[in-house]
Amino acid sequence: MFRLALKMLFGDSAKYLMLVFGVMFATFLMTQQSSVFCGLMRWTTAILKNAPAPIWVVETEVRQVNQTIAMRDTDLGRVRSCEGVEWAMPLYSGVQNVRLENGSLTVVQLLGIDSTTFAGAPQRMIEGSIQALRQPNAVIVDDLALERLSPDPKTPLKMGDVFEINDQEARIVGICQAMRSFTGGPFIWTTYERALSYAPPQRKMLSAILVQPIAGRDGESVAASIETSTGLKAFTNGSFQSSDREFNTATMFWYVKNTGIPISFGTTVLVGLIVGVAISCQTFYLFVLDNLKHYGALKAMGASNLKLCLMLLSQVTVVGLVGYGIGLALASGFGLWAIGNKQPPFFMPDVIPFAVLGVIVVICSLASLLGILRVSLLDAAVVFRG
Amino acid sequence: MSTPVIAASARSITKSFGAGNAKIQVLHGIDIDAHESEILMLLGPSGCGKTTLISILAGTLTPDGGELMVLGEPLHKMRKSAITRFRAMNVGFIFQQFNLIPTITCEENAAVPLLIQGMSLSKALPHARKSLEQVGLADHMKKRPNQLSGGQQQRVAIARALVHNPRLIICDEPTAALDAENGQRVMELFRDLMRQPGRCAIVVTHDHRILRYSDRIATMNDGRIVESVPTAEFDFDHHR
């Protein structure tokens, strides 16, 4: 009966393709939009990935990593004196203007790191070395900056090239890989002292303090100790939702709560779900109605309701799996393209394909439910009524 | 001469549809017997209750009252699921509009009753082919129903009705969708195949031309059996 059910399904190629399209569309839209949303949320925490440290100490009112409220330089010493702290280093973080050779301006994310320890330095160098930052006017840029800071995108910048940050010279001594920032600007590293000279002077300039706990101490307890001792805010920098004071989590939740981004993406995902349900349910119900007299004949010939329901379920399962497979492949293809193109943001955690599969199961269940009800209530004697 | 064995027996069968003022009594205490090795034809005007009676005899409709013994089983006492199983094992159906599944081949269509019984398609197909050979469609097994003429499609339906060797065949206007020539051919073939001992066919028809293929004719009117006589004793002139 399973093969018979499939032959009935494949035989009506127009409806079969429409059903597959409905599921495929829903899968693609939900997977792609969820992944772009996750990618965007990851971009909001790019500074934490690009300047990694187990603990970030910031001003008390800071709620997320892209929010900069400067602290006093003396706060660095207070943190260093806290119990459980192995070392603590200053970090400058701010959005600055870069003037290109053709006179136009572009924004960059400037990071100033300790010139002795290089705490917060880029993790993956492509060219040059971090130590070269000790040279005059030296900066390390990410690969995106090579294109963005070049007046002609066809001839990207290279090692040794010079540009201006707030009218002061900067020379490229290293190129690294880095996660894209939420603002879309490239990352530039320099020493803390030089970053202060690039940035417009303010009374307080210290953006954050990067802390390493002593061996054997967990970041959570050391962060709590720092908060108690200094009155500053201390976040851990770990995996998503690993603790209540985790900075990535706090940042992402801040964007979820304070921006319309989740509503925008959520609406698109909802549209995918609704369109999927509408197309699949309607088409499958039409398919069942078209075949109703055949189901009636099968019922008269002795096919039980259970057998007919299993036929419908096998049909809808095949449609669901084929549509889901194609939709997921398309979303993955989009993801590969986006990663290669460096935008739009795309990150597909394991949970997304499984969650979308769950939604597709719900869609297919709804689609089959109408058909199952119709067939179950079908009177076998209907075949004798012409 | 031996006493014919009763294949299906209906006693005081009643059936109504609707409720309250809209209630319509369709069958008024029907008594009828169908015997093994017999083709019983039910004749009567539209709306006289032929289809309702055949649906009850086939086990696809539950009567309101009366007793129904089919192939020795008391269908009026059986649960719906048991009746469904009974139909799958013992009853073959030939419908007015053939009811062949258009998206599968003739041999797959003919195999459907065996698939319903739980047989795999690979095991069912040889039986289906044999059944199609019996109805003279050996050359059309791989074709789809819409590639065949109406007469050929009804022969596929006959092959499907007989593939699982049922003891009771229920036919609903088997020649209604066929022209006269094809109708005669189909009925000749049907009668030949029905010669197998122990089989009983109950045929509902409007077509007087095929009455001669029956062994007995029961006429109905207004939900009652008016007469049930051997075909040889049937007054064709009176009913013409």
Q: Are residues A38 and A66 in the same domain?
A: no
Sign of CA dihedral B228, B230, B231, B235: negative
Helix axes A2-11, A305-341, angle to 10 degrees: 60
Cα–Cα distances in Å, from B218 out to B52, B64, B211, B230? Answer: 15, 22, 11, 9
Q: Are A303 and A225 members of one domain?
A: no
Asked whether the whole model's pTM tops 0.90, one would answer no
Strand partners for B224: B221
Question: What is the CB neighbour count within 10 angstroms for residue B218?
Answer: 23
Q: How far apart are CA B204 and CA B207, in angstroms?
A: 9
Question: Do B116 and A298 make contact, defined as CB atoms within 8 angstroms?
Answer: yes
Whether A330 is in a domain gets the answer yes
- Does A380 lie in the same domain as A351? yes
Regarding whether A310 and A225 lie in a shared domain, the answer is: no
Nearest by CB to residue A301, choosing from B54, B103, B112, is B112
> For A222-266, what is each residue's pLDDT tens digit?
999 999 999 999 999 887 777 778 999 999 999 989 988 888 888
Per-residue pLDDT tens digits for A99-109: 887 788 889 99
Same domain flag for A213 and A283: no
**CA dist., res. B81 & res. B59, Å (int):** 11
pLDDT tens, B119-162? 988 899 999 998 888 888 888 889 999 898 888 888 898 889 88
What is the DSSP secondary structure assignment for residue B212, as one 8-state letter? G
Query: Confidence class of residue A386 from pLDDT cuts 50, 70 and 90?
Result: low
Please answer whether residues A294 and B99 qualify as being in contact, where contact means their C-beta atoms are separated by less than 8 angstroms.
yes
Domains in chain B: how many in total? 1
- A33 in a domain, yes or no? yes
Whether A272 and A297 map to the same domain: the answer is: yes
Among chain A residues, the shortest Cα distance to B46 is held by A385
The percent of residues above 90 in pLDDT, for chain B, comes to: 10
Please state, in angstroms and as integers, the Cα–Cα distance from residue A69 to each residue in A52, A98, A296, A331, B138, following that order. Answer: 19, 22, 73, 39, 88
Question: Binning pLDDT at 50, 70 and 90, where does residue A210 land?
Answer: very high
CA distance A303 to A311: 10
Q: Which two tokens stand for residue B175?
A: 């020649």
List helix spans (H) across A45-103. 46-50, 74-80
Confidence of residue A385 (pLDDT cuts 50, 70, 90): low
The pLDDT of residue B210 is: 83
Q: A301 CB near a chain B CB, below 8 Å?
A: yes
Amino acid at A141: V
Q: Decide: A157 and A126 in contact? Cβ < 8 Å.
A: no
When pLDDT is averaged across residues A133-137 and rounded to a whole number, the result is 92
* Amino acid B239: pLDDT: 64
Q: What chain B residue is nearest to A308 in terms of C-alpha separation?
A: B116
Q: In this structure, what token pair is assigned to residue A275?
A: 């369109």
- Residue A252: inside a domain: no
Mean pLDDT computed over A330-355: 91
pLDDT band at B164 (very low <50, low <70, confident <90, very high): confident
Answer for the pair A192, A113: CB distance below 8 angstroms, yes or no. yes
pLDDT tens-place string over residues A20-66: 988 898 899 899 999 999 998 889 999 999 998 999 999 999 999 98
A303 touches chain B (CB under 8 A): yes
Does A101 contact B at CB distance below 8 Å? no
Look at A219-228, A371-380, B173-182, B204-213 and tell me which has the smallest mean pLDDT.
Answer: B173-182
DSSP code, position A246: B
Angstrom distance (rounded) from CA B139 to CA A49: 72
Checking if the pLDDT of A174 tops 90, the result is yes
pLDDT at A231: 92
User: Considering the domain boundaries, does residue B15 fall inside one?
Assistant: no
- Whole-number mean pLDDT of chain A? 89
Q: Which of B103, B117, B171 to mutate to test the interface with A (most CBs of A within 10 A)?
A: B103
What is the pLDDT, as a whole number, of residue B240? Answer: 61
Per-residue pLDDT of B174-192, as tens digits, reads 777 777 777 777 787 778 7
Give domain status of residue B9, yes or no: no
Q: Say what the pLDDT of residue B137 is.
A: 81
Contact B12, B65 (CB under 8 A): yes
Query: Where does the pLDDT of residue A125 fall: very low under 50, low under 70, confident under 90, or very high at 90 and above?
Result: very high
Per-residue pLDDT, averaged over A262-278, amounts to 85
How is residue B231 annotated by DSSP? G
Residue B18: its pLDDT value, please? Answer: 83
Task: For residues B210 and B222, give the distance between their C-alpha atoms in angstroms, rounded to a whole number.
Answer: 23
The three-class DSSP label of residue B217 is: strand
% pLDDT > 90, chain A: 47
Q: Give the pLDDT confidence score for residue A283 in this predicted structure.
A: 83
Side-chain-side CA neighbours of residue B206 (13 Å)? 11
Chain B nearest CA to A23, separation (Å): 23
- Specify the amino acid at residue A371: G
Do A65 and A104 belong to one domain?
yes
* Count of CB pairs separated by less than 8 Å, A with B: 85
State the residue range of the domain holding A117. Answer: 53-236
Q: What is the pLDDT of residues A141-154, one digit of tens each?
A: 999 899 888 888 78
A307 touches chain B (CB under 8 A): yes
Closest CA to A366 of A305, A280, A269: A280
Chain A's closest residue to B93, CA to CA, is: A301
Measured between beta carbons, the chain A residues lying within 8 angstroms of B95 are 297, 383-384
Q: How many CA atoms lie within 13 A of A309 on its CB side?
A: 11
Smallest CA–CA distance from A1 into chain B, residue: B115
Say if B29 falls within a structural domain.
no
pLDDT of residue A8: 85
pLDDT at residue B235, rounded to an integer? 77
Instruction: Answer whether B116 sits within 8 Å of A10, measured CB to CB.
Output: no
Q: Does some domain include residue B98?
A: yes
Starting at the edge strand found earlier in the chain, the sheet holding B168-172 runs B91-94, B168-172, B200-205, B38-43, B216-221, B224-230
Q: Are both A158 and A282 inside the same structural domain?
A: no
**Residue B216 structural domain:** 37-60+79-239
Q: Give the mean pLDDT of B218-232.
A: 88
Q: Test B60 with A3 for CB contact under 8 angstroms.
A: no
Q: Which residues of A196-232 are buried (b: 16+ CB within 10 A; e: fewer)?
A: bebbeeeeebbbbbbbbbeeebebbebbebbbebbeb
- For B211, half-sphere exposure in the C-beta direction (CA atoms, 13 angstrom radius) is 22
- The residue ranking higher by pLDDT, B237 or B222, is B222
How far from A271 is each of A28, A264, A279, A286, A363, CA to CA, in Å? 12, 11, 12, 22, 13
| Residues whose CB is less than 8 angstroms from the CB of residue B91 and which lie 6 or more positions away in sequence, other chains included | A301, A302, B58, B59, B166, B168, B169, B170
Q: For residue B106, is it within any domain?
A: yes
Task: Give residue B126's pLDDT.
Answer: 93
Do the chains contact at A379 and B112, CB–CB below 8 Å?
A: no
Both structure tokens of B16: 């109504």
Q: Identify the pLDDT of residue A247.
A: 93
Token look-up 């109805």 returns B135
The CA distance from A290 to the nearest CA of chain B, in Å, is 11
Q: Cβ(B230)–Cβ(B215) under 8 Å? A: yes
Do A311 and A179 lie in one domain? The reply is: no
Residue-wise pLDDT for A289-339, tens only, equals 888 888 888 988 888 888 899 998 999 899 899 999 999 999 999 999 998
Q: pLDDT of B32-82, one tens digit each?
A: 888 888 889 998 888 888 888 998 988 888 888 888 888 888 888 888 889
Q: How far is B1 from chain A (nearest CA, A)?
A: 35
| Cβ atoms within 10 Å, residue A20 | 23
CATH no. for residue B42? Answer: 3.40.50.300
Model pLDDT for residues A92-101, shown as the tens digit of each residue? 999 998 888 7
Q: Rounded to an integer, what distance in angstroms lies between the CA atom of residue A71 and that of residue A73?
A: 6
> DSSP secondary structure string, A343-386?
-S-----THHHHHHHHHHHHHHHHHHHHHHHHHHT--GGGGGG-
Indicate if A27 and A156 belong to the same structural domain.
no
HSE value, Cβ hemisphere, 13 Å, CA-based, for A250: 20
* Whether residue A31 is found in the same domain as residue A109: no
Q: What is the pLDDT of residue A286?
A: 86
Segment B83-105 mean pLDDT: 88
Q: A89 pLDDT band (50/70/90 cuts)?
A: very high
Q: How confident is the model at residue A378 (pLDDT cuts 50, 70, 90)?
A: confident
Q: Could you read off the pLDDT of A75-84 as tens digits, one per residue? A: 999 999 999 9
Q: At what angle do helices A2-11 and B106-117 cross, to 10 degrees?
A: 140
**Chain B residue with Cα closest to A301:** B88
The sign one gets for the Cα dihedral A152, A158, A162, A164 is positive
The total of structural domains in chain A comes to 2
Distance, in Å, from the CA atom of A96 to the CA atom of A188, rounded to the nearest integer, reads 10
- Of A222, A246, A219, A238, nearest to A80 (Cα)? A222
Cα separation, A319 vs A297, in Å, equals 24
The ipTM assigned to this model is 0.86
Nearest to A23 by CA among A311, A351, A316: A316
Query: Is B95 in contact with A11 (Cβ distance < 8 A)?
Result: no
CA closest to B122 among chain A residues: A3
Instruction: Return all residues near B120 (Cβ < 8 A) that are at least 6 apart.
Output: none
Q: Is the peptide bond before A200 cis (omega within 30 degrees of 0)?
A: no
Task: Decide if A255 is inside a domain.
Answer: no
Query: Which residue, among B217, B215, B209, has the nearest Cα to B240 in the 3D structure?
Result: B209
Question: What does the pLDDT read at residue A245?
Answer: 85
